[in-house]
Structures are given as C-alpha cells and as structure tokens.
Chain A
Amino acid sequence: MKTISVLLAGVGGQGTVLASRILTHVALRQGHDVKVTEIHGMAQRGGSVVTQVRMGEKVYSPLIETGQADYIVAFEQLEGLRWLHYLTDKGTMIVNRQRINPMTVLTGAAVYPHDALTQIRVHAPRTVQLDGLAMAKQLGNLRVINVILLGALAKQMDFPKEDWLAALEATVPPPFLELNRQAFQAGYAA
C-alpha cells in the first residue's frame, strides 16, 4: 500500500501531540508501519508546532515534504495556510476556523491574512471547515478541540470508526473518555 502522510499543525498548547498519539494508535491497529516526528523545545512556547505522521507497509523517512501530505489537520487558520503547500493536489485539509494571533500580529509588525480560509479553499478543493472552538464550548471543555478535529479527520480517512473509538479508549484517561467520545462524534458528524 501507498504510504499515507498526515500533518497536524497548530499553536503550542493546542493538543496536537495527543491527537497524533490517537492517530498513530489507529494506524498501528491496521498493522501499518508508522513513523512520527515532532519538534519540541523553544517551539512550544506559543509558537507554531507541527507533528508529522506517516504510515504504510514500510515507512523510511519520518518527514513529510512539500506537496506530499495526504491530509492536513490545521488547528488554527493561519497554521493551515502556513502548511498548505505541503498538501498533495488531491489532499484533504481539515481546518479549525479559530484564529489565534501571533505576537507579530499583536504588535502590529504583521497583518493576519483576513482571507486565510478563502486561500485554503482555493488551493485545497477538498477542505473541511469547522468551528472547533464553538463546538468545544458546547461540549463544555475547550481542551477537546483536538479530538473534535480528529473526528473530522476520521470521517475523511478509510480506517474503521470502531478502531478510532478503541484508540480513544486506549489513550484518553478514563475520567475524560466520555467527553472525548462526544467530541470525536461531534467532529465526525460535522
């Protein structure tokens, strides 16, 4: 089988790491070889963060290159735009409509691109947009945006839904499992 590449892009603190853990769990349940790479350290202090997941029969490089991502899950508009050129021509972009201003915008040194979502839609015809922040508010916990987005990703990928739910069970601590199940379902239905 062809190697599948999924890129998760967000802002430090948004929970991309847990999302990638759940995703890799699902891939492993399919018997795939999996490689994941992410950058720690300085990048975590509210900076851009990206986790790259590759899965298939045999995966060599953990790196996804430009034009190679089959799926991008953007936890924030601007981060979606930043990584857009990594998407394959037929790739799917899942983008959270949330906006988080970087310091460069807050200080007035740069302008937040007001048409980020439009640009994404133009270059990625297969784009799924959702308002993760509002959905998470409805569920009563802002920290489940990551799992909402994962639900939307699950809908687009070919893995069985029960494997996703099993992966949730294996990675989320019991007290938060039900909440995360709801978040996943909300994203799946969006």
Chain B
Amino acid sequence: MTKALLTGNEAIARGAYEYGVAVAAAYPGTPSTEILENIVKYKEILAQWSPNEKVALEVAIGASIGGARALCAMKHVGVNVAADPLFTFTYTGVNGGLVLVSADDPGMHSSQNEQDNRTYARFAKIGLLEPSDSQEAKDMVGHALAISERFDTPVMLRTTTRISHSKSLVELKPRQDRTLREYKKNPRKYVAVPANARVRRAIKELHWQEMLAFSEQTKLNRIEWADRKIGIVTSGITYQYVKEALPNASILKLGFTNPLPLKKIAGFAQQVEQLWVVEELEPFMEEQIRSAGIRVHGGKAQLTPIGEYSPSLIRQAILGLETKTKPSAAVPPRPPVFCPGCPHRGVFYVLRKNRKLVTGDIGCYTLGAMPPLESLDTTICMGASIPAALGMEKARPDQAHNIVAVIGDSTFLHSGITGLVDTVYNGGTTTIIILDNRTTAMTGHQHHAGTGQRLQGEPAPEVDLIALCHAVGVKRVRVVDPHDLASLDRAIKEETAVREPSVIIARRPCALIVKPTEPRRCVNHDVCTGCRMCMGLGCPVISFADKKSSIDPALCWGCRLCQQVCPFGAIGPEEVQ
C-alpha cells in the first residue's frame, strides 16, 4: 500500500482522481486553489479555471447532468458567487455525482471575512461532509459523490484552512474508472420552471428525509467511547484539537453534518454527564442540538465564535486549565508588502499623490491600503470596486472628478465587467484602472481568460480588454505602463477630469512571472539629501539610515520607480555609479 504525505487540497485532488471525477472547474481562491492545480496532474480529469465560481459551478452542473462525476472547488466567499445555481440545482438534482468543495478560512488568514459555509449546506438542504485530516479529505470525495448520486443532490465538502493547507498521511489507491451515466432528456427534472420546480421541491423533501436516515446510520458519524464524564460532539479540524486536549473524553465525531444525526446525538448525550459541542465559527451544530431539546452543557457560551481554535483554547474552556505560556516578546509586525518591481506600486503612489478617492477590489493590490501608500478607501468583495465607485459618485456628485476604481485583470473578468456596464449605462463618469498584470497573482499565478493560456498551460483565445471596454460603451480607453510614473500621472489627471467614464489599463506582467530587464538601481550617497521621497514608495528594497537612502542590490528588481521620484537625481543604474 502506498502512502503519501498530502495537504488536504492534494488529497481532494487525489480523491477526485480515485473516485472517477471526469470534469472539474474552479476559480482560484485561498485556501482552495491547489485543488485544481493538483487535479491537473491527472490527465483523466478535464479540469479548467472558470472566470468565476458561479460559472465554475454551472460547468460542473452541466457535466453532472450530462452523466459525468463532477467537482467544483472554491473558497468560502466563492460560494456566495455560486449560490444562485446551487440553490436551484438542489431542486433539479444530479445525474453524475457533484461535489462542491467549500474551503473556509477561520481566522481570515487570506480572506475578507470568515463566514461559516456549513450554514449554506443547511440553507440549500444539501449533504455536508467535514474532513478532519487529509485521509478523510480524500475518502470524503468518494462519499460525497456516492451520497450525491444516491440522494439526487449536490453535496458540499467543507474544509477549513487547517485542513486545506495541512499535510498528513494518505493511502493511495487506483482510479475507479466509471462509464458516463446515460443522459436522457428530462425537462421535468432539469428545466426549473415553476410547475416543474414545485414537483422537485416535494421530491427534494423526500430526499432530505432519506438523507437524515442515512446520517443516523453512516459510519461517517462515529462514537469514540472513553471516560463518560465529558462527551464532546465535534467535526472537522476541531476533532484533532479535542483528541489532543482531552484524550480521555468520549467523542461523537461527525463527518456528515447536514442533516445532523440528532437521534444519535441524543443517545450519546444520555450516556455522558456533560455534553459539549466544540465547533469553530458559528454554533451550527449546537443550535440544532439545543433546538432538538438535547441538554448542552457547554458550547459557544464558553468557546468563541471568532477565529481558529487550538487544543489549549479547548482545554481551557472545558477543563478550566490555563496553559502556562511565556509572554511573547514585543516585536514589530512584518505585514506582507508589494514585491520589488511590482507593477501595482506606481499606480498607488500616483493615486495617493493625486489624493484620489479609490474604491478597491480583491487581489495583491489590496496591499495598496497599507502604509506608506495608504491609497485605498474601500475593499468589499470581488468586483465591488467599479459599482462602489458609481454609487459613491451618485451619493457625492461633487466628488465625481476625484473617484477612481482599481481592479485586477483576473478580478475584472471574474465580476468587474457587469459593474463597468452599469457605470456606462447609468451615466457614471468615474475612472476605472484595470491593473493588468497578466495573471491571477495573489493566489499564486493562475491563468485566466485574459492570459492566453489555460490551466494546463496550453494556448487559449485571449480576452481583448480594450475591445471589451469599447464594446460596453467606454469611449476613453488607454493603456499605460505602470512603471512609467509620468505617464500614469498624466493619464489619471486627464481621465478623471473628463465627464464620461474612462478606463486606464495599467499593463505590465507581475514581477514574479517575468525576468527584470533593467539594471538594478543604487543611491549615490554624495547626492542623496535624505529627503525620504523614495521611502514613500513602500519598496522593501529601500532602507533609510544615517540620513541617507540605500538600495539592497541583492533584491532590487530595477523598476526605476525610485529613480523617477528622486528630486535630486541621486538614484541611477548600478553600473553607472
């Protein structure tokens, strides 16, 4: 038997392979991204990046109805985008099994919120699986697909960052090849018009009851008996923390958590003195358990709904044992920064200099909010920058000349286009800057419809952003090199001055995907006056000591921004000085 040390994401990809998934689609998003990046290794699966999570799920839905097993992966907030097809696909049901992987991010390591997507499973009345390590992550892909086909429903496999990005040992098995299920035209099932949907709604309820009976019986929900003073109901990664914190407690370990096996939980509760419900984020299980009239000794009253858990946090809440900790040293924080050579830096520098009101979006460029650039006013969700700029303009017409939306190329294709259409249609005059760095950088450089390549790296048609903007009615579209500060400054001044919508495409590949062409810069200390202008760029390569700036030659990318902002000509190419 072969074993491998896999992350939860690698294990899910392996599960897709072993359990015969034929089609997989996703939009990248931490902590889910590596699922598709690893599925690519299995040539048997047709895998693709879609422009957004809604489209990805719809592709998976089409594949499922067509008879294939399908997988769709996204981060938690991606499910918000995909919620529309999800909530009706739960009525039509599947043909080939469909698993929706939702990778939640308690603690917001790399997210704008920490919503608990188990709530979605309950809302949509679909099956829900929560793995507690990589082995389970792999196995549960198989369970999810089988449950999906058995109860005619999509199934959610919900991970959290500590599952997605933690490695543990996994047994590898060969692929179970599956033949495509027969596709027969069946509009009463798959055409969700009211007359059909009413029928499906009732069928859905029957499937729900069947799934409930399954939940009571399945080995995915198991009791580990030990001392019966404390009994703990738990799921996902918190199971591991409970094992670590309370090795003597009895545990009802739930792998299938929607619908909840309330009878099983009631039976467990009767046999322990104190019933505790231990779950990160929302009281998803606890509220249902309490509603069923089961006496819960402890849960969210003792354990926070905020952030990640740990063994010591659980030990302290349940046993009242303080973990003896040493005080942490007072240490300056090390926040992430724009990389040396990053094409975003110049844009935010110029926006700040021009005191623009900037609505932002989701990507590396959210770092434009950090000091010293500090030039973002808002960040809400994928695609919000452009409509938020329009709304800001409607609320404050006096600011119209001052409002700029910034959005990345991948994010623009994800959900920025409709906002641009709205701006044109409803008479907005804001300026939109598309930060076109030719990749989805934040999540680790994935291709998208604008890069000219697919997930596998093969060539693909490339969206023409200029033509697209013209097509929706933007007359003023110009392309600027974001390493050229004077051009950027001119473009931003001119475009914000006109009373019509305009798009500036700040185009330059991410500094991490191309090699520098310019020599590194250095500071001539005889000329440097110590004015600190270059420090305003927030470049990690430039430091300031003894009233002079210095550039770390090992790390400089040669973007020339510092040379352009230096009023004294103290900065130039390395070989000259």
0/1 string, A96-131, CB within 8 A of B gives 1: 000001111111111111000001000100000000
Docked complex Cα distance between A22 and B503 (Å):
48
0/1 string, B290-320, CB within 8 A of A gives 1: 0000000000000000000011100000000
The answer to whether the Cβ of A169 comes within 8 Å of any Cβ in the partner chain is no
Contact call B339/A46, Cβ cutoff below 8 A: yes
The answer to whether the Cβ of A78 comes within 8 Å of any Cβ in the partner chain is yes
Chain B residues near A46 (CB-CB < 8 A): 334, 336-337, 339, 540
The one of B31, B323, B329, B338 that contacts A119, using a Cβ cutoff of 8 Å: B329
Contact call A47/B167, Cβ cutoff below 8 A: no
Contact call B334/A11, Cβ cutoff below 8 A: yes
The answer to whether the Cβ of B524 comes within 8 Å of any Cβ in the partner chain is no
Across the interface, name the chain B residue whose C-beta is closest to A109.
Answer: B371
CB distance from A90 to the nearest CB of B (A): 13
Interface residue stretch chosen among B158-166, B189-197, B472-480: B158-166
Given contacts A61-B244, A65-B311, A106-B540, contact A37 B325 (CB under 8 A): no
Contact call B110/A43, Cβ cutoff below 8 A: yes
CB distance from A171 to the nearest CB of B (A): 12
Docked complex Cα distance between A104 and B328 (Å):
19
The one of B109, B329, B335, B372 that contacts A82, using a Cβ cutoff of 8 Å: B329
CB distance from B212 to the nearest CB of A (A): 30
The answer to whether the Cβ of A147 comes within 8 Å of any Cβ in the partner chain is no
Chain A residues near B30 (CB-CB < 8 A): 40-42
Chain B residues near A78 (CB-CB < 8 A): 331-332, 334
CB distance from A138 to the nearest CB of B (A): 15
Contact call B327/A43, Cβ cutoff below 8 A: no
The one of A28, A35, A82, A102 that contacts B166, using a Cβ cutoff of 8 Å: A35
Given contacts A24-B5, A103-B538, contact A12 B336 (CB under 8 A): yes
Across the interface, name the chain A residue whose C-beta is closest to B314.
Answer: A61
Contact call B329/A34, Cβ cutoff below 8 A: no
0/1 string, A146-157, CB within 8 A of B gives 1: 000000000000
Contact call B241/A84, Cβ cutoff below 8 A: no
Chain A residues near B364 (CB-CB < 8 A): 45
Contact call B162/A65, Cβ cutoff below 8 A: no
Docked complex Cα distance between A44 and B334 (Å):
11
Give residues 1-51 of B contacting A (CB, 8 Å).
5, 30-31
Chain B residues near A107 (CB-CB < 8 A): 371-372, 535, 538
Contact call B442/A102, Cβ cutoff below 8 A: no
Q: Which of A38, A48, A102 has the most CB of B within 10 A?
A: A102
The answer to whether the Cβ of A67 comes within 8 Å of any Cβ in the partner chain is yes
The one of A28, A43, A59, A66 that contacts B323, using a Cβ cutoff of 8 Å: A66
The answer to whether the Cβ of B543 comes within 8 Å of any Cβ in the partner chain is yes
CB distance from B283 to the nearest CB of A (A): 22
Majority SS at the chain A contact face: mixed
The one of B161, B162, B325, B332 that contacts A110, using a Cβ cutoff of 8 Å: B332
Docked complex Cα distance between A82 and B310 (Å):
19
Contact call B367/A45, Cβ cutoff below 8 A: yes
On chain B, which size bracket covers the interface? 35 or more
Chain B residues near A85 (CB-CB < 8 A): 325-329
Chain A residues near B310 (CB-CB < 8 A): 61, 63, 65
Contact call B543/A67, Cβ cutoff below 8 A: no
Count of A-B residue pairs with CB < 8 Å: 160
The one of B109, B169, B241, B328 that contacts A39, using a Cβ cutoff of 8 Å: B109
Chain A residues near B311 (CB-CB < 8 A): 61, 63, 65
Docked complex Cα distance between A119 and B328 (Å):
11
Chain B residues near A163 (CB-CB < 8 A): none
0/1 string, A77-88, CB within 8 A of B gives 1: 011011011010
Contact call A84/B540, Cβ cutoff below 8 A: no
The answer to whether the Cβ of B370 comes within 8 Å of any Cβ in the partner chain is yes
Docked complex Cα distance between A43 and B168 (Å):
22
Across the interface, name the chain A residue whose C-beta is closest to B554.
Answer: A142
Q: Which of B166, B241, B311 has the most CB of A within 10 A?
A: B166
The answer to whether the Cβ of A62 comes within 8 Å of any Cβ in the partner chain is yes
Contact call A104/B243, Cβ cutoff below 8 A: no
Contact call B110/A103, Cβ cutoff below 8 A: no
Docked complex Cα distance between A42 and B325 (Å):
28
Contact call A62/B162, Cβ cutoff below 8 A: yes
The one of A36, A63, A101 that contacts B5, using a Cβ cutoff of 8 Å: A36
Across the interface, name the chain B residue whose C-beta is closest to A108.
Answer: B544
Give residues 112-168 of B contacting A (CB, 8 Å).
133, 161-162, 165-168
Q: Which of A44, A85, A110, A113 has the most CB of B within 10 A?
A: A44
The answer to whether the Cβ of A60 comes within 8 Å of any Cβ in the partner chain is yes
Q: Which of A34, A41, A84 has the most CB of B within 10 A?
A: A41
Across the interface, name the chain A residue whose C-beta is closest to B329.
Answer: A81
Across the interface, name the chain B residue whose C-beta is closest to A106.
Answer: B543
Chain B residues near A36 (CB-CB < 8 A): 5, 166-168
Contact call B336/A42, Cβ cutoff below 8 A: yes
Across the interface, name the chain B residue whose C-beta is closest to A33.
Answer: B169
Chain A residues near B240 (CB-CB < 8 A): 60-62
Chain B residues near A104 (CB-CB < 8 A): 332-335
CB distance from B171 to the nearest CB of A (A): 13
Contact call A106/B335, Cβ cutoff below 8 A: no
Contact call B31/A34, Cβ cutoff below 8 A: no
Contact call B327/A47, Cβ cutoff below 8 A: no
Chain A residues near B335 (CB-CB < 8 A): 47, 102-104
Give residues 230-254 of B contacting A (CB, 8 Å).
240-241, 243-244
Contact call B326/A67, Cβ cutoff below 8 A: yes
Chain B residues near A110 (CB-CB < 8 A): 332-333
Docked complex Cα distance between A106 and B473 (Å):
44
The answer to whether the Cβ of B378 comes within 8 Å of any Cβ in the partner chain is no
Chain B residues near A109 (CB-CB < 8 A): 332, 371
Contact call A84/B328, Cβ cutoff below 8 A: yes
Give residues 330-367 of B contacting A (CB, 8 Å).
330-339, 364, 367
CB distance from B78 to the nearest CB of A (A): 14
Contact call A105/B166, Cβ cutoff below 8 A: no
CB distance from B307 to the nearest CB of A (A): 13
Q: List 11 A-B contacts (CB under 8 A).
A: A24-B5, A35-B133, A41-B443, A45-B336, A60-B244, A61-B244, A65-B311, A78-B332, A84-B329, A102-B333, A119-B329
Known: A40-B31, A66-B312, A103-B334. 5 other contacts (CB 8 A): A12-B336, A24-B5, A45-B338, A106-B544, A110-B333
The 9 closest A-B pairs by CB, nearest first: A41-B110, A110-B332, A45-B336, A47-B336, A41-B30, A102-B334, A37-B166, A60-B243, A36-B167
Residues in chain A within 8 A of chain B (CB atoms): 11-12, 24, 28, 33-48, 59-63, 65-67, 78-79, 81-82, 84-85, 87, 101-113, 119, 123, 142
